Amino acid sequence: MNDGLPPTEFEPERQPVRVQMPQRKPVATIILVVVTGLFFILQFGLQTITGNDILFFYGGKINQLIMLGQVWRFFTPALLHGSILHIALNMYALYIIGGRLERFYGPGRFLLLYVLSAFAGNVLSFVLTPAPSLGASTAIFGLFAAEGMFIFQNRKLFGQLRTRQAIINLGVILMINLAYGFMPATNIDNMGHIGGLLGGIFFAWKAGPLLKLTGEPPFFTVSDGRKRGDILVASLVVMIGFAIIALIPFLTS
């Protein structure tokens, strides 16, 4: 015990430690929100003028048209929405989660995560759900999964308590959303959500940031130890893996 005496050579004085976190602005997130919003304005305007949802007809997830070779429909549904409430909820989630993730992922890798999650979600929906669908929630569920994987893989830096609390909170949010989607009389594409989750998990597991501290005490900076080659491998695994899954209806029809 020290008993109030000055620290000796056997008990060094503790100094506060400062950790500099990435300060990137969520440029890709903002671009995605703006572009998706512009698509909705165009979609809503054309529907008001013509009485038909033209953009959905040309870009929504419609299984019969995908079977005819319109494979861009594995991506374009993420730009389309069915109502103001639909896009407002999705864009709010994108802005909040995207802002947190992109500062660590960087804009390029974040865009890859978003697009591949949307692709994975629409593929699983195509294979398992005959109903048409649209919306960015396939990609957003992938962001949820990637955030959980990011926290888990960097649990030593965040600490056990904070990691456990964050994972539990994310798990509860996801379970509530998935459970609501399985309720009767809800027009929700849960297979698309699950596909987005799987795509986000697979990508983030191999391509997500692995944080490490660099510098000298008491000043540290967080850097990413993930190799670029890992990001390429993860992208190919998700893209090729879900492309093979997408072939199932073509091979069994």
The bridge status of strand 219-224 relative to strand 211-216 is: antiparallel
Fold of 21-252: Rhomboid-like fold (1.20.1540)
Average pLDDT over the chain reads 88
Catalytic-labelled residue, pool 125, 133, 137, 235: 137
Q: What is the per-residue pLDDT for 1?
A: 47
Q: How far is CA 29 from CA 82, 97, 143, 148, in A?
A: 21, 9, 11, 18
Closest CA to 17 of 209, 221, 223, 224: 221
Distance (Å, rounded) from C-alpha 48 to C-alpha 56? 13
Q: Are 157 and 213 in contact (CB under 8 A)?
A: yes
Closest CA to 205 of 248, 146, 162: 146
What average pLDDT does range 191-200 have in this prediction?
A: 96
Classify 133 as helix, strand or coil. Answer: strand
What average pLDDT does range 159-187 have in this prediction?
A: 79
Burial of 236 (0-12, 13-18, 19+ CB in 10 A): exposed
What average pLDDT does range 209-234 have in this prediction?
A: 83
Q: Are 71 and 54 in contact (CB under 8 A)?
A: no
The DSSP H or E segment spanning 30 is: helix 27-50
Phi then psi for residue 223, to 5 deg, are -130, 165
pLDDT digits (tens, 9 = 90+) for 139-151: 999 999 999 999 9
Distance (Å, rounded) from C-alpha 79 to C-alpha 82? 11
pLDDT digits (tens, 9 = 90+) for 82-110: 999 999 999 999 999 999 999 999 999 99
Q: Where are the domains of the chain?
A: 21-252
What average pLDDT does range 116-137 have in this prediction?
A: 96
More confident residue, 14 or 229: 229
What average pLDDT does range 39-53 have in this prediction?
A: 96
The DSSP H or E segment spanning 215 is: strand 211-216
218 preceded by a cis bond (ω within 30 of 0): yes
Q: What is the per-residue pLDDT for 214?
A: 74
Catalytic-labelled residue, pool 117, 193, 223, 235: 193
235 classed as catalytic: no
81 classed as catalytic: no
Q: Is 0.75 surpassed by the pTM of this model? A: yes
Radius of gyration of the chain (CA): 22
- Helices 107-128 and 137-153, packing angle to 10 deg: 120
Work out the pLDDT band at 14, boundaries 50, 70, 90.
low
What average pLDDT does range 39-64 have in this prediction?
A: 96
